Every structure is written in structure tokens, then in C-alpha cells.
Structure 1
Amino acid sequence: MKHRPLHDGWTLRAASGDSGITGVPATVPGCVHTDLMAAGLIDDPYLDANETRLTWIGRTDWAYETSFHWEPDDPDARVDLVCEGLDTVATVMLNGRELGTTANMHRSYRFPVRDLLVEGANSLCVLFGSPYEYAERRRAELGDRPGAYAEPYQFIRKMACNFGWDWGPTLVTSGIWRPIGLETWSVARLACVRPLVEVVRDGDRIDGKITVHAQIERQSDEPLDIRVSLGDLAKVVGALPEGRATAEVRVDVPAPELWWPRGYGEQPLYDLTVELVDASGRVLDTWRREVGFRSVRLDTDGGAFTIVVNDRPVFVKGVNWIPDDCFPTRVTPKRLAERIDQACRAGVNTLRVWGGGRYECEEFYRLADEKGLLVWQDFPFACAAYPEEGPFREEVEAEARQNVVALAHHPSLVLWCGNNENIEGFHDWGWRERLAGKSWGAGFYYDLLPSVVAELDPTRPYWPGTPYSGAPDLPPNDPARGTIHIWDVWNTRDYTHYASYRPRFVAEFGFQGPPTYATLRRAVSDDPLTPTSPGVLHHQKADDGHGKLMRGLEGHFRTPRTFDDWHYLTQLNQARAIAFGVEHLRALAPHCMGAIVWQLNDCWPVTSWSAVDGDGRRKPLWYALRRAYADRLLVVRPTSVTVVNDTAEPWTGRLTVTRINVAGEPLAEETFEVTAEPRGVAAVELPGPLATPSYPMLELLVAELDGVRALRPFAEDRDMAYPEARMEAHAESATGGAVVTVTAQTLVRDLAIFPDRLDPAASVDDMLVTLLPGETARFRVTSPGGLDTAALTTYPVLRCVNETPRRPTDP
């Protein structure tokens, strides 16, 4: 097997409309938007409101063209053009002859081209039809279907969020978005390799079993062999008789090391190699991947929703993952590794790949395998009623079959989920009446997709959608069963309403905050920059998003008077809201066995629910999430403290709970002997002297156990009579940045440092730290370009809740 990439010499032209664009150098893999940007023909759609002037791109036909030289080196060899990803509606032509058409971003395609290639120069053209024209034509043919947005995304097998979302721009792309090239082979090739990796238990003994299913494409009927090896541990040869096109080879692995989720053990991976060999011993084709041994099942008894790995229930500390860029080829392996690392360092053990995006790249799942991150994979259906008629159904089946097989070897992948919020939409959003009997996707979620998973990947559980209560006739968002999404908090309720829920598993809940200052300032040129200036509002896609941000502050903070105060307080409120929700859900374990925060990342600079903004900078929420997802956590409520232990060892010790005043003076104190069992919780009810403040506006509860501390005021910050913060703050240069040392003379509430205001490349190791009088904290600031150390300790870089009030005219 020989592979020749065809990534050079491409040009782009508009094949419809009157733009006159032609002969533009094109990068493959890539897309129209990035090529036009590189040529200086459009402005960056992520800046200001440029996006609104670029909708014509998605309504235009585009042609990618190149030529290449070809010399036949084996007259009997087969040559295929392999297109790993075409976005989306494409006609592929070689030397003026049509090879085929495509209509699915989520699939790859292979075309035999040996008879069309000519010695010397060959021309290749991929003509992309307008995604809008295609989707609107299908909508007219099949009848309209309801959706969350007035865009036709459910009528085309393409990344739905390309059409805009409540956190994303409307940038409808076209292009060769994954590699394209020629594959030359003879005799036979491995058309498909599907390893099923299982753990076999016999009493206390644990062995491994890999069943390799191989499909062969042949040029001849001669007998062949399939050689399977697992590093140096095992080698098995299976015979492929004359003419046969399928093989099944079993590899038994005595006592393999098990792969575990983060925090539960190690992640050993084994090299699996499958070779196709002819009678002379010549290797015709090779397939290599890393695999891991682990079992996974879903416990749904009594309405539960618990992911069980290697027979151990796992409390899911998760984040939702959306496409990290509207233009996928800009997500480099380095950028992906940074984002995965940010998830790990926040204490996350699970990534949910959300259904409005795409199946992620191989590198994403490989990193999850290495890091021990569990992956919940949605099939790409989200927030709409989808037609089930042909040819749509055939596309969905082909896409599902290909991607289930492609991902089956990854130990990190633990769940297939049919869709995002479509079952809820049918039951609760008025779709049933609007559909008037038309198909909406039920046949996919309850029949087609589970059948594909059962046939091709029976080692993993399937769940029809989220939210979902376990049966089609049950209310889908019932906290007593299955998975729920909590969105009334962001839309209509104060975040303390999270405490009214007693769910089994929450797959989505979130609260908004703006991006970091450096990210917002890069994306928005408003002068002055205000919470409601045009660019800031354009980078807020949620319905009444600014109004909800301000209403969310009302019960907790005084109304901000300056942009800087708005920026700090809305970011802080986002962090507080999600920390409150996560802590509540973790304290409910094992009744509740999962919290998946919406969302880890962003695809562009925007005010959203993310912990990491569109430029990859960590928002205050990230630091709060790191505390809330720590292995050991104290959850303080007015009348109780819950000890949460997500480790394999008991957490035993003396819990000290103190009621103090805002001057840091103890008013009441008690010590409790506590034990939280491994992966368990222990609740301590507080006696009256601790739980009953004399003056709520002046008092706080502080709980400490083995160096873990949690603090809770008896009133909201807007009502607390905090002293104006006094502190000694000193910054000194250090290798690669600076160290800031802060010693509190009074209580200092939620101290934060925002070094990106001084250097966009700067970051800090911690924030949202509350200091009691006399306590000291040190912060490491990283800045490759150097910093003005004096500015690190002044407003608006150094902030806390009870700082000296600022007037709008203050510098």
C-alpha cells in the first residue's frame, strides 16, 4: 500500500455568484473562509461584526482545483482517490470525468481512479455546492421541521453549529477539510479493521480478549493471512481462504493491565498491529492503533444513570466539548493538547462531545486514551427535528457505521448517545403539533443507531439521547431518572435554585460570563468598551444574554458602575454559580453520579458558558471548577458541611467548623470526627451555635479538614458588611514572569489577578482566593514578554469583592 497526499498546488474560485473570485491559492486541508482570509479578500470573521458581511460565502458554489503528475509504476495495481473529509455537498472530478458526489461532512469517500489517470499531468477538481441551497432544497422536498434556530441545519449532514448557535457565529463553510490523496495497492487491502477489546473475568482472574474483525477488498482470489500482534505479548495468524473477504481473529491476553479513568488508576495502552500478508509472506497492508483493556457498562437500575468502569462506579466530573474552532483545520495537535490539558488540570474526568458539532479527530481520542479522560460521544444531531426519509437515512447509516468502527478501539470512549435535546424538543417544546405526523428522528435514536452500535460495537452502552429518562413514553427531563439538563437557572432562576434539584445525572448545566479582557479586546474594537457597546453585544449570541447576566448579579452583588467592574463581577458570578451547582451535585452522590458542565471551550471570542475562552485563556470559572472538581471537597451550607471524597482511600480526620465575624474573630467553633468512605460522602449537621448567626451580614462559616478549606458567608456579598480590603501586595520579577505576594490585613474576598490586561500572553496559576486577616497567598504569573510588576498590584489587574469602591471616572 502506497499513499500519496494531494495537498499541493490547489486554487480556489467562486463557481457561482458575481464575486469574481478566481485563482486564489488554497490550503488543503482547509476551507473557503480561511483561504479567502489568507488572500486578504475577507476580514477576520471573528472580529467585530465582520461575520455579518460574510453570509454570501455559504450561499456560493466553490471549486477547488489542482493538477498533479502521475507515472504508473505497476500496471496491475489499483489506484483509489481517498477523500477523508469533504465539507459537504461535493462533486469530485478527475480529468474532466465525474467520480462521484458527496453530501456528508462526517464521512470519508473512496473512488477507483486507475482507468481515469493519464501518464503525466492530471487535473483534479472538487466542486462544492452551496450548503444553504442544498439544505433549503431538501427542506422544500421533505417539509419543514422545527428547530432551535431559524436555519436549515437539520437538512444537511454537516456540523450544525456552522449555522450559528447561542455561543457561535454563523459561518457556513465549504472545503476539503481532511486529507485527500491517492492510494495504490495490489492483490488486496484492509478495507476495514474493527477490534473489539474485552475484559474476561473468571473469579479473581482477569484476562483480556481482542476480537479483530477485518474486511478485505480484493483484486485476486489467492489465499491470504491476517497477522495480529499485541506488542510482544501475543501474535496470532488467521487464514483467509481463497476468495474470502472477511476474517475474524481472536487474541487472548493473559492478565493485562487494566485501563482506568483519571483518578482511578493508570492508563496502560498496548500496540495492536494487523497485517494482511500474501502466501509469500509479503505484507500487503498494515493497520496500527493503541488499545486498552477495560470494561464499561451503564447502571440504570431504579432510574439511576451511573457509568461503571471495570466494575467500579465513576462519579463523572465532566465538561461539554464543542468544536474548538469554526474552521476545524486550525485546531492543531498542539492546540488540542493544550485544551485537553486544561480539562485535566481542572480536575475533569469526562468529556462529552456534543451533538451539534462533529466526530472529533483521531488525536482527540488518542489524547483522551493517554490522559484517562472518559469520552461520551453524541451522534451529530442537536436541537432540531431531523427527517428520516431517504437519502438522508442512508447517509446517517453510512456515517454511523463508519464512525463507530473508526472509534471502537479507543478505551476512553465509554458511551454512544443518540442526540442532544431532540427527544426533549419533541415532548416539551411544541414540536409534536408542528410536525403533524412527519418524521423527527425517533427512528434514528430508538432503532437505527442502537442497531448499528449493537452490531459493530457491543462493548459499549448506547443511550438514545440527553436529556432522557430511559423510555420513550417518560418525561425526558425528569430528575428522578436518567440524564437531565438544567437550563431554568441560566434563563429564569437564581443559581441557588440548583439546590432544589435532586437528579440522578446532569449532562448539561451552565452559566455565562464574558471572555478574558485580552480576548475581548482583541476581538472588539469598540471605543469606549462597555458592556453594551456594539461589538460586545455582537459577541453575545444568547437570547437576552446581557439582560440575563445583569439579572444574575442582582441577588449577589451591587450593580457594577464601570466596564471593569462589570467584567470582573460577571466572570466571578459565573464561577460562583457553577461551583455552587457542582458542589451540590457532588454532595448528592451516590444518588447523583454525574455533573457535566456546559462548557469547557469556545470556538471564537464570545461571552458564553465556557471555562476557557475562544483564544484559549482560562476564565475565573476554570479556577473555580478546579476547586469544585478536586478529589477532596468540603461543601458548606448554612446548617451542614458535606465531606466529599473521590479517592480510593477513606478520608478520616478532625473537621473544624468555625463561625467567624468579618474581622476574622471566632464566635463559635466545634470539631467533628469524620470519615468519608472511598468514593463516598459524609454529611455533618451543624449545631445551633454554628448554624445560627447573631448578625448574618457580619458573619461567615469556615470549615477545614486536612488542609482543605471552604468558606460561606451567611448573607450574599451585596449585603455583607465587609471591611474595605486592606492588604500588602508586592510583585517581583522571576524567571518567565513574576511572583505576587499578598498578605491580608482584613478579610479579602475572592482575590483575583488578571495579568492578561498587561500582557495578552500572561497567565496566573490561581485566583478567587479568600484570605482571612493575617494570611498570605503567593501567585505565580507567567509572562513570556515581561511585565510591569508595579501594575500587577493595582486596579484593575488586582481585584477583590470588598475592594475600595471605584467611580466611573477613576483611572
Structure 2
Amino acid sequence: MLEATPLTEGWVLRHEGKLLPAAVPGCVHTDLLAAGVIPDPFLGRDEAEVAWVGRREWTYETELRAGSGHEQTDLVFDGLDTAAEVMVDGRLLGRTRNMHRSYRFDVTGMSGLLSVRFVSAYAEAEAVRGRVGERPAAYAEPYQYIRKMACSFGWDWGPTLVTAGIWRPVRLEHWSTARIARVRPLVTVEDGLGVVELHVEVERSRVEAPLAVEATVGGVRAHADIDGSAGVVRIQVPDVRLWWPRGYGEQPLYDVELTLLGGGGALDVWRRRVGFRTARLDTSADAHGTGFTLVVNGERLFARGVNWIPDDVFPSRVTRERYRERLGQAADANVDLVRVWGGGIYESEDFYDACDELGLLVWQDFPFACAAYPEEQPLRGEVEAEARENVVRLMPHPSLVLWNGNNENLWGFRDWGWEERLAGDSWGEGYYLGLLPRVVAESDPTRVYTAGSPWSGSWERHPNDPAHGTHHSWEVWNRADYADYRLEVPRFVAEFGWQAPPAYATLRRALPGEELAADSPGMLHHQKADDGNGKLRRGLERHFAFPEGDFDRWHYLTQVNQARAVAAGIEHWRSNWPVCAGTVVWQLNDCWPVTSWAAVDGDGRAKPLYHELRRLYADRLLTAQVRGRERGLVLAVVNQAAEAWAGVVRLRRMSVDGGVIGEAEVDFRAGRRAVVDVEVPPELTPVGPKEFLVADTDGLRALYFPSPDREIPYPRPEFDVSVAPGAVTVTARTLVRDLLLQADRLGPDARADRGLVTLLPGERVTIGVSGWETPDPGTARSALYCLESGR
């Protein structure tokens, strides 16, 4: 039987003639940080102090003892970042140039000093650029010339920390006669039967022997002979339970075990979990354009999505527990789809395991983002090798439903001046429309492939045409107010978002000793977007008076504005289902402490946007929408639940001083997975800055203010505060709009269970608080913020 020996101990890193202890898996930065050689680049402006690390060569060493009682021993690296030479006692085993794939070297009978020498990723990228010529990109760094996590070169939310190291596990594998080289599990549902077709490839040693495989799924066993180096085992499992996305059903998973047999015994074993489900993409043309609707087990979905970036700029630090925590946050916010963005990585098995268990659909980008990528060698061969490996590696996971060729590169070619600058040079089109769809079709025909995001499906249309396929909405935030989300109904919004700073406690940790201001040195360093603070200011000034010199107020208002902006988009687009079939918020998470579009900041703290997503992505949503001049104001009743929703909505036209101008009750009925509009009687439609509409049903509330906040004469907010262990209760004596308890101001470990809430006079809310050691009403009041007239 194959035996695996992890090589995790005894590694050292060479630095200026010294041998530093090294963690494997890990990277140069984390090893230097642990040894006290560099400061923490996440703190203050120390990112700039460690820029030299990415420009150096680095060597990892350990003793190799490959002897065993087996015929062959392989040295297996699951991931090397990125351009490296692997040697044993000075003998070259091979060279690598791709972070996104694994490597295997025959080291049978070898022993001695194992060294892995990494050249600078900059040096490798610049050498490739010299061979293939210049290619345009959204950023100046040379990330398009090397198969490495692009965002390690910096992004508009990330630091420039160009890593090197043995970033995934390494081991010795000892085996005899044969081993399992690859298994492609095609998992389908046919006439109520679960079907698993295991395509097996084996590698033989120098010993010829008859081989067979035996597989078990769901208590059903099957057997097949290996013809040469390949074989197929097909198993039909009766009465399978379907795997569903969260909110639609359960997530049953079935253990698959495949054993390679030869010489009278077991030689190797392959184990995975699979789920039975069907998934397709409906891109039919209709009166509105070309659709983009995910269909799982025959059920058409409005995808409630978030974009995922690497959860740490040093991805070797992201543990199984951290994946589970972050993806659990997504599930708790009613998210059902996670898009793994193309400037990052193919994530580890731990990520996809968590998605399988939580019922989170995965949209996986191939790692291409915001650049023209050369198609010449050595890159083309690397792209094909990584694609074939990772498509097969991720096939068992039922959560994975879609492969996407790239992020914004088709759009960039058309709109960002690339076509003229390229003058006929390759730029990646051959990958997205040729190589990658072929790899997916050949390796895993059960999965959907789309060429890019955004992509309208054809060069006959603009790549980012909102009426066709996927759309990225970035005019809003970059130039326009979030009210402009309501001007169009894209078929699927794969990216949109609004910035806000991280939680206060995150800033205090990341910027020690700094007097915080929107434009203080550390705040500006942790704002990577082009004119990011200018866009935050202009976005605020459309709705609020800008709080000059008041950091706490600026911090609160920018977080309110982020939540309001995303709510404006999602409420509008969900209310236009089934024309719009999904929204994917940019972004769920951060890779360090930074002002960004994230709902969960770099220290794992939830922003108000996170709590707002929980409301926006709930199965049932009530939202006020203006349907043009003819229809005017309506209440959209959005019902994504499996059962019809019938009830009575109470409408109140109110003044900001708390008086009720008029009220009525209106019946409604929304079918399963359906949206209906409830007309608001004209006499209840609020007019001017002193009035607003309140709609309540089944514990849900929708508010409609016809004027921007800067014009609304809010009363001076008056409320009472009481505390108890684990709870803060606020009772309003006036209208209190967008009340927020910033729990981390009570203590860095404190967390609140809800975000923004608006209270009418006489109403109360109890906010659950964990991690607060000494409850005190005065301290609680100091951490409460709300809107005030002119502020």
C-alpha cells in the first residue's frame, strides 16, 4: 500500500548567511516575521518596509531520507510559490514556474540536502515579459507574466507583498507496482438514480502486473480491470438524496472509496465525498435580452452571492477553521453563492469541503484578472497544466457549479484601450474561448463553463451589456450615485459594491498610536483604491453633510452609506426577478485591514453591510420601489421561499416628528419563488423631506424616504438605554434612524448580533452583545450612533 510521509519538520530558510527556522507550509514573509527580521506589514505603513523581500532569492532546506521498502519514492509538492529549482545534494530534480499546480519528482534511493531555491517572482515575470513582449493591465505590476496569485502584487484593496515559499503541503510517497495517478469522478443523476463514473489513471513502476480497481459509493460496490494505465468504474446508487444549495434543501454527501488492486492486495486508495445534483445555466434569449439563470435540480434560482478574495495575502495562514468561520459568516448572512475571484487562487480542499457542507454554490474563476495575458510559451503550457489539474481536483465537490474563464479581461480588451495597444498580439482570448472550455468539456462535462465576467455571450454585443449575460456595475461608486442602480435591470450582476472603512477596533490595532482621521497617514496607506477617499466623500455629500474633522462621525456615515448603497441595488434587482437572476456583492472578505468594499473586514469583524446582507438575502423581503411615473410607488413583495406567502401589509404615512398622516392595510399573495407588487395608495405616498412611508408585515419592514438625508429635518434623537449580560436595549422616544451599536468600541472582542435599525417613537430593540465583560449603560450609549438633522 502507498505510504505518505509528510515533510513538515526540520526546514530552514537561508537569510544573509543565517539559517532561520521555517514553517512548511508557509512563505518567506511569515518566516521572516516569526524570526523578528521584518515588522508586521499589516501595521501602520510597514508594508513599504518589507518591499525588498519580493525582490530577493530565497532558499529552503531540509534533510531528505527517501529510503523505504518500496520500489519507488516520489517527492510531492502540492504548491510551490512560484519560480523555483528543486535539488538534492546539488542534483537538479526540476524547475517550477506555477503557483497553481502541484509537482512530483522521483527521488527513489536518494538522500541528502533537499533545497528549494526560489528566484524573485519579479525576476521571473520580467524575464517572461522580455520574451513575449509588453501586455497592458489595470496595474503596473507584472502579474500577467507569471502563474501566481495576481493580488500578491497589490490591488485596489490589497497590499503589495510578493510572496515566495512552499505554500502547500509537501510529502514523500513510497509505493510499489502502481499508484493511482488521477481519478475523474463524473457525478450525475439519471432517472432518479445517482450515477458515479470513476475514470481512473494509474502510474506503474517497473514491475508489470495485472491491476484492477474496486469502488464503493452509498453501499454499492463495483469492480473493473485496468487496461494498461486506465480504467472506468460505473456505479448506480438507487434512492439517492439530492444535494441542494442552502435554503432549498439539505446537503447529503456520500463517501466514495476507490482501491487499486494488484499482486494479491491493495496498492493505493482514493477517498472523496460527492453529492448528487444537477446544475445547468439557462442562457435563453427572451424579450429582455439573454438570460443568465442558474438551475439546480430543476429549480431556477435567484443567486444571492458574494465575491471571495484570498482571506489572507499570505494564503498559507488560512486554516480549515478560518475557512469554516468565514464561509459560515456568509451562510449566516443568507448567501447561497460564493464567486472565487480570478485574481486569487484555486482554494484548498478545506474551502470547497465547507461549501459542500454549508450548501454554498461555488462559481470558480480561472486565475486571470484585469490584464492582457500572453498566450505564448512558457505560459500556455502552464495554463493548460494547471487547468487540467484543478478541474479534476475539484470535480468531486457538488458545491462547484460554474467555471468562469476570467475576470474583466474580455471587457478590458473592448473598453480599456487594449485592442489598439496590443496591435494583434495575443492577450488571452485563446484561453477563454478555446483552451479553457475545451479542458472543462474534456475533463468534466458535468460542469457549466462561461468565458468571462462580465460577458454578454458574443462579440456581436458589448461584453458588459446589462441585457445579456453577466454584468459588472462600476459606474456607480466610480462616478455615479447608488440611486443609479435603479436605472437598469441587468440579467445577472456579478460585481457591484461600495467602500467603507473597517471596524474601529480593527483600525486601532492596525494603526497603533495614530490619531485617526479620514486622511491621516495610516488611513491613507490602508486605502488602496484610486481616489478612494474622494469617492467616499462625494458619495457621502450626495446624502449627508460631510462631517469635517469628526472622524467618528465620518466612520459611522461611510459605513451607513455602504449598507444603503448595496441595499439600493439588491432590493431593486431582486424585485425584478426573474429578469434579473442574481447579485454577487463585491466583496465578502478582506485579506488585511483596509478601507474596502468588504462586508467582513480583515480582522473578521462584521461591518453594518454584513448585517444588512442578512436582511437583503433573506427568503422574504419587503421593499419600496418606484415603478416610473405611471405606476409610482409600490411595495415589492419578494418571496424566494418554497411556499406561497400571503398576508396583510400595514402602510403608514408618517411625519419625521412621529405623527401618523394616514394609514391602511392591504392584502397580498406572492407565489413560491415569485415577486408581486402591492400598489401604494396615492394618499399614502409621502411628499417632501418631512414625510416617509412605513410598511410592516410578518416582522418585516420597508421604509421609503422621498428626500435625501441632508434635507430631512430629523428631530434630535432621544432614546433610553439599558443593559444586561449579553444585551443592550434601546427604547426610542423620537424617530431614531439607522441606529448602530459599534460593539467593538465596548471592547475589541465584543460583537453585536445586528447592524442598522430604525425605530419609531415608542419602539424598542434589544441588541445581543457577546464578548463584553463589564456591561454599563453609559459605555453602551457612547457606542451608539444614529442619524441627526444635517449629520
Q: Would you say 1:718 and 2:706 are equivalent positions?
A: no
Superposed counterparts of 1:343-742, under 5 Å: 343-525=330-512, 527-561=514-548, 562-637=550-625, 639-693=633-687, 696-732=688-724, 734=725, 738-742=726-730
Are the counterparts in 2 of residues 278 and 284 from structure 1 also a CA contact under 8 Å? yes
Superposed counterparts of 1:27-426, under 5 Å: 27-70=23-66, 72-74=67-69, 76-115=70-109, 117-118=110-111, 122-201=112-191, 206-219=192-205, 220-232=207-219, 234-241=220-227, 244-280=228-264, 282-302=265-285, 303-426=290-413
Counterpart residue type for residue 158 of structure 1: K
Aligned-residue offset at 1:527: 3.2
Q: In the aligned structure 2, how far is the partner of 1:637 from the partner of 1:444? A: 42
Query: What are the superposed Cα offsets for residues 673-701 of structure 1, whole Å, 9 maximum, x if unpaired?
Result: 211111110012222102252xx221111
Aligned-residue offset at 1:525: 2.9
Q: In the aligned structure 2, how far is the partner of 1:341 from the partner of 1:556? A: 33
| CA shift in 2, pair 1:503/1:21, >3 Å | farther
Are the counterparts in 1 of residues 686 and 692 from structure 2 also a CA contact under 8 Å? no
Q: Which residue matches 1:772?
A: 760
Aligned-residue offset at 1:663: 2.9
Bigger mean CA deviation after superposition, 769-778 or 348-357: 769-778
| CA shift in 2, pair 1:405/1:216, >3 Å | same
Q: In the aligned structure 2, how far is the partner of 1:198 from the partner of 1:73? A: 41
Q: RMSD across aligned C-alpha pairs, in angstroms?
A: 1.3
**Unpaired runs of at least 5, structure 1:** 15-19, 806-811
Query: What are the superposed Cα offsets for residues 501-524 of structure 1, whole Å, 9 maximum, x if unpaired?
Result: 111000000100000001011111
SS of corresponding position for 2:590:
coil
Bigger mean CA deviation after superposition, 537-546 or 327-336: 327-336
Are the counterparts in 2 of residues 268 and 292 from structure 1 also a CA contact under 8 Å? yes
Counterpart residue type for residue 194 of structure 2: G
Aligned-residue offset at 1:150: 0.3
Q: In the aligned structure 1, how far is the partner of 2:127 from the partner of 2:459? A: 31
Counterpart residue type for residue 570 of structure 1: T
Are the counterparts in 1 of residues 74 and 172 from structure 2 also a CA contact under 8 Å? yes
Aligned-residue offset at 1:716: 1.6
Q: In the aligned structure 1, how far is the partner of 2:401 from the partner of 2:790? A: 50
Q: In the aligned structure 2, how far is the partner of 1:35 from the partner of 1:616? A: 23
Q: Which residue matches 1:799?
A: 785
SS of corresponding position for 1:23:
strand
Aligned-residue offset at 1:493: 0.5
SS of corresponding position for 1:190:
strand
Aligned-residue offset at 1:637: 2.8
SS of corresponding position for 2:738:
strand
SS of corresponding position for 2:356:
helix
Query: What are the superposed Cα offsets for residues 442-469 of structure 1, whole Å, 9 maximum, x if unpaired?
Result: 0000000000000001001100000000
Counterpart residue type for residue 199 of structure 1: V
Q: In the aligned structure 2, how far is the partner of 1:22 from the partner of 1:89? A: 22
Bigger mean CA deviation after superposition, 43-52 or 633-642: 633-642
TM-score normalised to structure 2 length: 0.97
| CA shift in 2, pair 1:239/1:398, >3 Å | same
Q: In the aligned structure 1, how far is the partner of 2:339 from the partner of 2:721? A: 41
Q: Which residue matches 1:748?
A: 736
Q: Which 4+ runs in 1 deviate beyond 6 A?
A: none
Q: Which residue matches 1:809?
A: none
Aligned-residue offset at 1:804: 10
Are the counterparts in 2 of residues 755 and 792 from structure 1 also a CA contact under 8 Å? no
Aligned-residue offset at 1:231: 3.6
SS of corresponding position for 1:462:
strand
Are the counterparts in 2 of residues 526 and 535 from structure 1 also a CA contact under 8 Å? no
SS of corresponding position for 1:176:
coil
Bigger mean CA deviation after superposition, 207-216 or 664-673: 664-673
Q: In the aligned structure 2, how far is the partner of 1:363 from the partner of 1:563? A: 39
SS of corresponding position for 1:64:
strand
SS of corresponding position for 1:168:
coil
Counterpart residue type for residue 694 of structure 2: V
SS of corresponding position for 2:18:
coil
Q: In the aligned structure 1, how far is the partner of 2:789 from the partner of 2:413? A: 49
Aligned-residue offset at 1:727: 0.7
Q: In the aligned structure 2, how far is the partner of 1:114 from the partner of 1:793? A: 66
SS of corresponding position for 1:344:
helix
* Matched positions, count: 778
Aligned-residue offset at 1:21: 5.4
Counterpart residue type for residue 288 of structure 1: R
Q: Which residue matches 2:9?
A: 8
Q: In the aligned structure 1, how far is the partner of 2:770 from the partner of 2:363? A: 34
Are the counterparts in 2 of residues 526 and 534 from structure 1 also a CA contact under 8 Å? no
Q: Which residue matches 1:808?
A: none
Bigger mean CA deviation after superposition, 662-671 or 77-86: 662-671
Query: What are the superposed Cα offsets for residues 363-416 of structure 1, whole Å, 9 maximum, x if unpaired?
Result: 100010011100000000000000000111000000000000000110000000
Query: What are the superposed Cα offsets for residues 20-69 of structure 1, whole Å, 9 maximum, x if unpaired?
Result: 25211111110000000000000001111111122211111100011144
Q: In the aligned structure 2, how far is the partner of 1:411 from the partner of 1:791? A: 50
Q: In the aligned structure 2, how far is the partner of 1:411 from the partner of 1:376? A: 12
Counterpart residue type for residue 4 of structure 1: T
Q: In the aligned structure 1, how far is the partner of 2:294 from the partner of 2:618? A: 19
SS of corresponding position for 1:87:
coil
Bigger mean CA deviation after superposition, 327-336 or 298-307: 327-336
Counterpart residue type for residue 83 of structure 1: F
Q: In the aligned structure 1, how far is the partner of 2:166 from the partner of 2:53? A: 15
Counterpart residue type for residue 296 of structure 1: A
SS of corresponding position for 2:242:
coil
Counterpart residue type for residue 711 of structure 1: L
Q: In the aligned structure 2, how far is the partner of 1:304 from the partner of 1:240? A: 44
Counterpart residue type for residue 499 of structure 2: Q
Counterpart residue type for residue 236 of structure 1: A
